[in-house]
Amino acid sequence: MNQFKKKKPGKKPAVDPDEVFNVLKDHKNVIFDSNGKLKKISDKIWKDLSNLLGKKISSNCLYISVYQDRYSHQSNLKNILGLTHIPKQTEEDIYSTDDSSSVCDDNLNVFSITIPYVIFSKIMPVSVNYKNNGKERRYNILQNGWTDVINDAFISAHGLPCNFIYKRAKVYCDSFNCNKFIRFSAKCKDCGSNLYGWSDKAPQLEQPLIIQIQTKDTRGREMEHNTKRPLKGLKRSLVGAELLTDIPSNWKRKSVSNLKFGCVLPPNVYGNNVLSKAKQQHSDNVLGITEKCPIKSVIELKHNSIHSGAIHGIGCDPFLLHYWTNHQLVIYKDVSKSYCRICIDATGSVVKKIQRSSLNLTSSDIFLYMAVVHTDFGQIPITQMLSERHDTLTIYYWLGQWLKSGVKIPNEAVSDYSRALLGAMAKAFSNSSSLHSYIDKCFLALNGHIGELPICFLRVDVSHMVKLFSRIKCLIGIKNKYLKEFYVRALRLLLTSITLTSFKEILCAIFTVIFSETDGWLMNDEAIETPAEKCRNYLLSLMKGISNDTFVTIDDDGDESNDIFVENDEIVNHDRGIVNYINCIENEGKTNASVQGNRMSAYYLPELGKYIKRMCYDFPLWTGIMKTIFDSPFLIATSAPVESSFNELKNQILRFDRRPMSVDRFVIKHINSINSDTKIFRSEQIRDKQKNKTLPINLFSNISDDENILLSSNKNITENVSGNNDENCIIENNGKEDNAKTIILNSIMTENDAEEEFSKTLVHIEDESMIESDGEEEFSKILVHNEDNSMVGSDGEEDDSKTSDNDYFENWKGKGQEVHANPTLKSSTNKKRKRNTKYMDGIPEIEKILSIRNLRSNKTTLLLNGNTTTPIRINKNRYIVNNTCSFDSVSTVIAMAYLDNPFYKNFIDNCKNQFLEFCKKLVTTNTSAIIHKERLKILKTIFKEDTGITGVNIIDCTCNVLFIVTSLLKDAASAYEHIECNNTNCKSVIRIVPCPTIIVRLKEGFKTLETSLQKYLNVKTNVCLECDENASSTKDLCQHIFIETDVFADESQFRLSEFPTNLKVNAKIYILHGVIAYGYGHYVSHIRRFNGVWETHNDLQKKIKSHINAEKTRVNP
């Protein structure tokens, strides 16, 4: 007796089939297209039918049910409409015979493709066990991804536009059961074309798999095909992995590299949206992200992931997240054992805003806050925060939580001029109730109350301060570009001051110039300069990088230092003593400005005073005055390390990610990069600790190499000069005669003046000129309170007193204000970022810069060769001067020496030589047609004119340097020879003969130049040319000397470093200022500036080439 096991009834359908058919019947005319085919699943009709059924059955399920003819719905509908129903053909029907010819059609074509063995090995058949009612059966199947491998090979080989959807393939490993190795079928989603494929036999080892495919040739019908193949399975993972280090558009470009021009994109070239989603999904799998909500995701990461120990605090509304790793704590604790400086800043555009509640309310902008420590062997972040709120208390809470981890308060902390950041650092690091309290304590310490000194030294980044100076409202605009150039450089002098006395002198001078309507000389006595004139000249001398002790205190209060001391004692007990101190300086400047001069002042700008006064209320933060009190080894404050970390994060770590990104993804990526960076940094830290000797702190770690060279060069000069008490200071330059002349230009000082002057110059260079230029990120943070975005109020300190430090907030690019439910308005116009200007370096050319129209560059060649200029018109005559390189080289060397040496400048100012006056004009006025006319007038006196047939006078100036010096400096010679005849009856008992150049023997090169000059000055006895008696000859060197180098062959070349930088001759010191080299029939001058940096001035080039390597550059003097 056969017993049949009764099957359990299936689950009752959610919708009665008859009800479904009735709805389908009512809409039977719109379910099928004009060809009688069922409309696609993406058609709107299926969603409409699903809505009519109360959404009890989804649109996709409804389509599948009709498509598969369940309950005979499709057959009945077609019978009602009179359409022919073609039953679905089974695979067994398709392959009813082993012969492929049984499936033949006149419209089908057979295509052959070859799959390399390397690719076939990835989809090679494997055996799989299937269970059914307790029984197991073994099948051979192709591995996942076989459909994409075959389809990509087919499209690549034949280029059919069809989007084939493949069905299950059958594999026959036993050739006795079937004469085919693989069989599969597919159908085009667009045109409905069927595809049948097979492989006759399995490939041998390292041999390709050959597949035959039979389908319609649809090439030429590309416009009928619009869909893309689904990106899924193994291929989706592979594409996602490729996109981790690339962007979708690049992947798309690579995929069509072999496509012919004019062809339509095949269905396996996906859109950017699909590729981006695949990248995101693969990235989420790699990062371990499982939650869709970013807040839930970071909570999951904090408690259930490998990053559990790195995330320390999470806030939902408002959003905040504190994170730092144990590795960061270990590194910082080790670094903080010595003097430690950290840099703190914030940036945006890395994290997306968060959507909250069912109303889809958007959060405020989320900033990344980061603290970075910098050492000699690298920099590393030490703590981070993501926050939606950017006020002082939020930042203070983050820093406080970090300190609770057991770390030490840093010795020094640097940030930009964000009141929120500074206030939070004052609370967390300096045990101060507010930023005002910290500043007051620093001011008390400056006045001798060291017990009030805070724990941590807070400073403002120098580049942000310079940017702040240049963005002052009254200095913006074309009309004020000259004033901006002057006042920004003047404010830079405040920035680099290191004593309270120098700060007061400079600030008083600035206030005097700002508030003075007149300058020049007194109205009733034109021999006496007005205070405004003195102050302006004093500021200009400091801008040049040349210290000057001629500045005299203008008021009559007696000794300056005593006044400051008394004044400070009087204001110490006030609530805001620093405010009173700045106001007193302002009043002193106004008193000085009230003195009337004989001309109108071009620098009168009273509205600038309130901006300067407001910034000076915080001067302990941004000047170098507190450096000595805090015993800081760093000359300047810079936040370059944290700016560099932001740049690395955005442009390297997140290079291939679309920003802004979700919070959870960003945090994981950032922590992973931090873990890698800390391992590298720790390795270097361990190596550094195990060195036998402790390395000194690098005082110039934040200074460029060129500035370090600049400082060391000046130190060497000063040590050589100040080491001898009997020396006089000078300048020196090499000259060149005939194809081998080098000019050495020197300027002379007295012995005592030299020592004093160069010692002052060294202090200025060490403390002022070694400042970095603007940072990489554009400065757009401003000081704001509530809705007031202006930095300065109308009443100065009154605005500060009404504003609590806790109310300030970080406002990166104007995005720091908290947004509640209102949309954020975006600016419709983006102003073009202007070119950065370097204000931190000393610039001897300041007078010339202030007098020319274009302030964009001060590296333009002083004189261009006459060969490159147009004819010059003088008195209705036209002139062309050719080959002026010798004249131009000598002029350039003298002109640059005039700028760099105040004593040589004084010599030229008092000299009436026409050529020297011309050299002075080169650097004090604009290089224009007037200068070229002046050059023409001088050259006409020593060269002949040649009138051409065109009526243009031509002056050929081909000559050597010796001819220029001898012809134009007769009354300003290098030396004078005094000849005294022993015969008292001689017609010329005493004669003085000028020596424009000096010829000495240099047997061992320029090493013996000083000794040769000493021998040159020795007393000699010669025969008198008048009476044939003996005559004694002595020589005296003048303010400059030009040394001939004809003793060397034309091919002799020397490194610039081989020329002596200073010479001591008879208690006088001469300093090298330039070398003129000759080569290929052309003269070029190499200038050694006051800071030791070499420049090349070539009159055939429009720009000066600066920072020449003196060790590598060889010249033929």
Q: What is the CA radius of gyration of the chain?
A: 43
pLDDT score of 862: 83
Which residues pair with residue 213 across a beta bridge? Answer: 111, 197
Are 626 and 643 members of one domain? no
Are 439 and 473 members of one domain? no
Examine residue 11 and state whether it is found in any structural domain, yes or no: no
Examine residue 355 and state whether it is found in any structural domain, yes or no: yes
Examine residue 828 and state whether it is found in any structural domain, yes or no: no
Are 65 and 192 members of one domain? no
pLDDT tens for residues 1063-1097?
A: 888 888 888 889 998 888 899 999 998 778 898 98
Residue 659 tokens read as: 């920003």
DSSP 926-990: --SHHHHHHHHHHHHTTS--EE-TTSEEEEE----HHHHHHHH-TTS-SEEEEEEES-TTSTTSE
- Domain boundary residue among 81, 113, 130? 81
Rounded CA-CA distance 865/21 in Å is 96
pLDDT score of 337: 92
**Which one-letter DSSP state was computed for residue 788?**
B
Write the single-letter amino acid at 988.
S
Are 518 and 577 members of one domain? yes
Examine residue 656 and state whether it is found in any structural domain, yes or no: yes
pLDDT tens for residues 819-875?
A: 544 444 344 444 444 444 466 666 665 665 565 544 444 567 888 888 888 888 888
Q: For residue 1062, give the CATH number of its domain.
A: 3.90.70
Are 176 and 301 members of one domain? no
pLDDT score of 845: 59
Range of the domain at 266: 241-287
Q: Are 393 and 806 in contact (CB under 8 A)?
A: yes
- Domain boundary residue among 603, 630, 657? 630
Are 73 and 103 members of one domain? no
- Domain boundary residue among 630, 653, 687? 630
State the number of CA atoms in the 13 A half-sphere of 271 facing the CB: 6
Rounded CA-CA distance 562/569 in Å is 11
Q: How many helices (H) and strands (E) does the chain have?
A: 37, 36
What is the H or E stretch that residue 1010 is in?
helix 1009-1016
Q: Which residues contact 1069 (CB under 8 A, 6 or more apart)?
A: 721, 727, 728, 729, 730, 748, 749, 754, 1062, 1063
Percent above pLDDT 70 for the chain: 77
Examine residue 921 and state whether it is found in any structural domain, yes or no: yes
Are 452 and 329 members of one domain? yes
Q: Tokens 């940096």 map to which residue?
A: 1093
Sign of the C-alpha dihedral, residues 1043, 1047, 1050, 1055? Answer: negative
Are 153 and 254 members of one domain? no
Rounded CA-CA distance 70/56 in Å is 17
pLDDT tens for residues 749-792?
A: 333 343 333 333 323 323 333 333 333 333 333 333 333 333 33
Examine residue 10 and state whether it is found in any structural domain, yes or no: no
Rounded CA-CA distance 925/615 in Å is 34
Residue among 1070, 1085, 1067 at smallest CA distance from 974: 1070
Q: How far is CA 1064 from the centre of its chain?
A: 45
pLDDT score of 1027: 79
pLDDT score of 850: 60
Are 870 and 949 members of one domain? yes
SS (H, E, C) 424-438: HHHHHHCCCCCHHHH
Q: Are 892 and 1097 in contact (CB under 8 A)?
A: yes
pLDDT score of 1039: 87
Rounded CA-CA distance 1107/1020 in Å is 43
> How many structural domains does the chain have?
6
Are 419 and 506 members of one domain? no
Examine residue 717 and state whether it is found in any structural domain, yes or no: no
pLDDT score of 848: 58
DSSP 582-605: HHHHHHHHHHHHTS-EEEE-TT--
Rounded CA-CA distance 116/171 in Å is 18
Are 1024 and 1077 members of one domain? yes
Within the chain, which residues score under 70 in pLDDT? Answer: 1-10, 85-106, 175-177, 478-480, 546-575, 691-859, 926-928, 948-949, 1046-1051
Rounded CA-CA distance 851/404 in Å is 58
- Phi then psi for residue 440, to 5 deg, are -65, -40
pLDDT score of 735: 35
Examine residue 837 and state whether it is found in any structural domain, yes or no: no
Are 611 and 686 members of one domain? no
Q: Which residues contact 212 (CB under 8 A, 6 or more apart)?
A: 100, 110, 111, 112, 197, 198, 199, 200
